[in-house]
Structure 1
Amino acid sequence: MNTVMEKYVGYINKLSGNILLGCDGFVDETYEIVQERKSQSEYSAMTNLKMFGELLVERADGGVGVELVPKRRCEGGFGINSGRIAAILGLKPRLPGLYGKASIDPAFVEFEDICDIYSLGDPALTIALEFGDGKVLMSNLEAVSNLTWADFEEYFTEAQLKELFSDVDILGLGYWSLTADFDGFFKGFMKQYETLTPPRRMFFDFADIKKKSSESFVNSLELIKPYNSKIPMTFSLNEHEVLELCSRIGIERPELKPETIATTLTLAREKIGFDELVVHTPEFAAASSAKDGEAYAIQERQTKVIRSAGAGDSFNGGYMCASLGDLPLKERLVMANAATAFFVTHATGPTKEELIAQIEKASDK
């Protein structure tokens, strides 16, 4: 084994730390669309988003009818999808969220033993249309939109809140664009660390920035910015979200090339006052860090994808795990890329041995 892999093996085998992620919860009902049916049991599915988009444009003046074939009913959301990676790697993330009111929904049962799950109510529902190169997600957000920090405080006693937020290494808050009381949750989380030792890092996935107004977006950034000196903040985006971020903060939209994105992230990071910005795409990941500078890691686009919904969250989970120790920035991106590649081709997170094997396959590590 070469020295590069020895570094990853040593880090992964000694992985430890506490991760707390809130505060959402979705059940994903995933379907594929029939392109052509040959018989009762034989059909071909639409293989890419472009085919679906072209169908919609072609029928724009009338109606569109498609046949859906169920693929799976499963867990969804920032907390559970990101937390899965940490859990399978041997950590036990704390996941307050929406996993079932009367009892834990069957979609989340497999996580009860490997995660500390705290369920505040029933999950939201997402209908996912899945293709080989991506997905269309349509969500009924009522459950998530109605969840507030006041509900969170009502669910936990003061002693339970203290225990939940104590000894946390990485704190995560996801899906700003889907969570109506995101700012309330952030302020509530920060309130806990007026008396407790703060985490080493806080991690955000804002999701679809375009969904909410620029005023709301800027207000959230301004709310977070003053806390960056106390808790270093990491903001994770996909290839579409980074372009939207640039448009909203007055930076020229970059080409989607690794080195260009990394340089642009430095400009954006300094402008919004975050410690770290990270971008993940199917071909590469890039980042800019106040401490570690810029880095990128090339990733081969996976061709045997069996599950794309949750890919970004799996990257986030891998990156958070990689941030628990002292891995350099490039290596953190490599480890997150490997977690994503394994997830989309296996529909689950990798064990330590599987993650090491996936990294070993990477041409850029």
Structure 2
Amino acid sequence: MKRYRDYINNVSGNMLFGCDGFVDETYEIVEERQNLTRYSAMGKLKDFGELLVARADGGVGLEIVAKRRCEGGFGINTGRIAGILGLNVTLPGLFGKNEIDPAFAEFKEYCNLQSVGDPALTLVFEFGDGKVLMSDLQAVSSLTWADVEKHFGKEKLKEMFTGVDVLGLGYWSLTADFDGIFQGFMDQYETVEAPRRMFFDFADIKKKSGEAFSRSLRLIASYNDRIPMTFSLNEHEVFELFRRVGVEEPENTPAAIAPALAIAREKVGFDELIVHTPEFAVGSSATEGEAYAIQDRQTEVVRTAGAGDSFNGGYVSASLGDLSLKERLVIANGATAFFVTHATGPTKEQLIAQIEKATDK
């Protein structure tokens, strides 16, 4: 534990994550109502799916109960973890056109919000074992690098991108101009020092064509020698990646995924691929090889939306020193475990305590 304590207590650095922004309106589905004030919520995503299939020839009428209205998106959820841990986090994104939307108000305390416009809306239906997200993507999907450049201006952009240690870009599958925004990010480093690492979460790979996917991978890989690239996937996305790049599908265990991930990483030409699931995390690094960390599945879950990005936030926060790949995965697992059971990011002390409780560290 000493290495974890020393690292977490002394970590410092500058992060920039862009350029999305969502307001999540989260609901649970009523399975059975007892009276005016008491009801039981549908607990499993599988049960919801089976209900839809069973009534596919007719209609489905469901009662929903609002749980919360809150922030959503790669930048804000990833930045939360890093910001609460004391890192300097700048977030260019969609947080409100004229003023910061109340959903993002708390983030002004520990992140530098640089808003381009109004956020997109996501409806989240949350279950004990997962979630369904349905988004009105107009605000995000129509955002282009030209919009970002026009809004901030070249001098402001240069200021924002200078001195960045880790640069992040998320939700490729939801952003029509993802390649243009990525290229805009890279263009900033023609005249200033490049970051130590760049981090991606593509989200649902299935949403875009194989041609678009391959084009984006080639573009990103072309910069990997200058800026080491890390690509983060969940348990569903990694198997889609295997299919798309021609890697034989392994068993869904960390020991089996690790060697397959190494093959996929070499095919896409990135420095790192990492995978996060509720039970384990796996990584493949060009310099460190492969590693995995078992994740204790949490039983007292209060929030799942944002869990993957919380893993990402933990991982990038662990990428600023000399920690091993396994240690970075352990810290990321700890950030996720704390988030899903507390609906916020951990302080340094809380993250250390969470790792102390882990069975695999």
1:29 counterpart residue number: 25
Matches within 5 A, 1:12-161: 12-161=8-157
Match of 1:174 among 170, 173, 180: 170
Give the Cα separation in 2 of the matches to 1:256 and 1:23: 32
- Other structure's SS at 1:83 match: helix
Matches within 5 A, 1:203-214: 203-214=199-210
- Other structure's SS at 1:30 match: strand
1:237 counterpart residue number: 233
Match of 1:344 among 340, 345, 352: 340
Match of 2:250 among 245, 248, 254: 254
1:277 counterpart residue number: 273
Look up the equivalent residue of 1:343 and give its one-letter code: F
Give the Cα separation in 2 of the matches to 1:194 and 1:325: 25
Look up the equivalent residue of 1:132 and give its one-letter code: G
Structure 2 residue 300 is matched with structure 1 residue 304: yes
Look up the equivalent residue of 1:268 and give its one-letter code: A
Give the Cα separation in 2 of the matches to 1:30 and 1:291: 41
Matches within 5 A, 1:194-205: 194-205=190-201
Give the Cα separation in 1 of the matches to 2:95 and 2:295: 33
1:172-201: CA deviation from partner (whole Å, max 9, x where unpaired)? 000000000000011000001111100000
Structure 2 residue 2 is matched with structure 1 residue 6: yes
- Percent of residue pairs bearing the same amino acid type: 72
- Other structure's SS at 2:67 match: strand
Offset, 1:262: 1.1
1:250-293: CA deviation from partner (whole Å, max 9, x where unpaired)? 11111111011111110000011000000000000000000111
Give the Cα separation in 2 of the matches to 1:179 and 1:33: 29
Give the Cα separation in 2 of the matches to 1:159 and 1:349: 33
- Other structure's SS at 1:63 match: coil
Give the Cα separation in 2 of the matches to 1:25 and 1:229: 30
- Other structure's SS at 2:283 match: strand
Give the Cα separation in 2 of the matches to 1:161 and 1:138: 32
2:320 counterpart residue number: 324
1:298-332: CA deviation from partner (whole Å, max 9, x where unpaired)? 01111111000000000000000000111000000
Moved over 3 A (4+): none
Give the Cα separation in 2 of the matches to 1:143 and 1:161: 21
Look up the equivalent residue of 1:292 and give its one-letter code: E
Look up the equivalent residue of 2:310 and give its one-letter code: S
Look up the equivalent residue of 1:305 and give its one-letter code: V
Look up the equivalent residue of 1:7 and give its one-letter code: R
2:355 counterpart residue number: 359
Structure 2 residue 329 is matched with structure 1 residue 333: yes
Give the Cα separation in 2 of the matches to 1:157 and 1:151: 10
Offset, 1:107: 0.1
1:51-92: CA deviation from partner (whole Å, max 9, x where unpaired)? 101110111000001000000000000000000001111112
Task: Give the TM-score taking structure 2 as reference length.
Answer: 0.99
- Other structure's SS at 1:227 match: coil
Matches within 5 A, 1:211-230: 211-230=207-226
- Other structure's SS at 1:193 match: helix
Offset, 1:113: 2.2
Give the Cα separation in 1 of the matches to 2:179 and 2:67: 35
Q: Unaligned regions of 5+ residues in structure 1, if any? A: none
- Other structure's SS at 1:112 match: helix
1:209-240: CA deviation from partner (whole Å, max 9, x where unpaired)? 00111110001001111100000000000000
Look up the equivalent residue of 2:200 and give its one-letter code: F
Look up the equivalent residue of 2:94 and give its one-letter code: L
Offset, 1:114: 1.1
Aligned-residue RMSD, C-alpha: 0.5
Task: Give the TM-score taking structure 1 as reference length.
Answer: 0.98
